[in-house]
Amino acid sequence: MVNLSVNLAGVELKNPIIPASGTFGYGREYAELYDLDILGSFSWKGTTGEPRLGNPQPRIAEMTGGMLNAVGLQNPGIDAVVEQEVPNIAKIFHGPVIANVGGFSIDEYAENCAKLNDVEQVKILEVNISCPNVHCGGKNFGSDPRSAAEVTKAVKAVTKKPVFMKLTPNVTDIAEIARACAGAGADGLCLINTLLGMRIDLKTKRPLIANRTGGVSGPAVFPVALRMVWDVYEAVKLPIIGCGGVSSAEDAAEMMLAGASAVEVGAANLKDPYACKTIVENLPAVCERLGVTNISELTGGAHQ
């Protein structure tokens, strides 16, 4: 019997598989298809202080090996999520929930995280520092070590829940950003968010996405995500949630060998809504092939 349980900064998950923010909403659509309690956790849709309609259409485009999206953090706002979505989540999923939190200023990040202090089912705050800093010309918080550290410090000051900083890959050295977050008190890291890309419509000779650029996700980014997880595991001593192109139980095991303690599954859910369920079901056989009885033994195994 393979033990699939993992520990993330003191939070016990029955297995390491977590649907990623942005592809799972607040769980209700997937709960109509299968029992969500099979999952280790799930990261809810990126939530900001105020409601957002997101970017103009079209905001999704296909590509070989994945997709681009520029949804623009469409969400009902933190107050509506706490009042309306949280009670529904408690009915459809009974494990620990990860709250993905966005913000356009340091104060907004802190305020949003503080509002989740009394939400019992939220056990981890996943702070998305890929948001543009409106006070610094739109540069993403996660692209600058100082800004990343400032957000980390501000959030840690208002909550006792474990804080995992979600890092952008659109930087020269992701390990530098990871070290800055660790130095500011982060309890863990999640990486990677989407890579910046674009497509052009040959008929109109214009970008396919109204926003011009979008985030690249799907199997094509898996080797990039794997390399960044490896680099960050070497740089800091924090638990890592690996994310980026994971589509199978084998991918999940590979991500853990690179250094991840748990794994998020994103675009695969949009291609196959049963993707996470299938991965969880296939994990024991993969572990047996790799000769481990506790899946946590895989974490960082390729570094030895």
How high is the mean pLDDT in each 10-residue block of the chain (304 residues)? 97 98 95 98 96 94 94 95 98 98 95 97 96 60 95 98 97 97 98 95 96 94 98 98 98 98 97 98 98 98 94
Of 160, 162, 195, 167, which Cα lies nearest the Cα of 181? 167
Are 115 and 79 in contact by the 8 Å Cβ rule? The answer is yes
Q: What is the pLDDT of residue 136?
A: 59
Are 191 and 232 in contact by the 8 Å Cβ rule? The answer is yes
Q: What is the pLDDT of residue 140?
A: 87
Q: What is the pLDDT of residue 33?
A: 98
HSE of 268, CA atoms in CB hemisphere, 13 A: 26
d(CA 109, CA 266): 23
What token pair was written down for 117?
A: 């202090």
Q: What is the pLDDT of residue 132?
A: 59
Q: What is the pLDDT of residue 133?
A: 54
d(CA 247, CA 97): 21
Q: What is the pLDDT of residue 304?
A: 83
Q: Distance between the two ends of the chain, CA-based, in angstroms?
A: 25
Are 128 and 101 in contact by the 8 Å Cβ rule? The answer is yes
Helix (H) or strand (E) holding 183: helix 174-183
Domain ranges of the chain: 6-55+71-196+215-303
Q: How many residues does the chain have?
A: 304
Greatest distance between any 2 Cα atoms in the chain: 57
Which strands, in side-by-side order, build the sheet including 195-197? 60-63, 66-69, 214-217, 195-197
d(CA 182, CA 192): 16
Are 89 and 119 in contact by the 8 Å Cβ rule? The answer is no
What token pair was written down for 300?
A: 């960082």
Q: Among all residues, which ones are annotated catalytic?
A: 131
Domain 6-55+71-196+215-303 has CATH 3.90.340.10: no
Q: What is the pLDDT of residue 20?
A: 97
Local structure of residue 32 (DSSP, 8 states): T
Q: Whole-prediction pTM value? A: 0.96
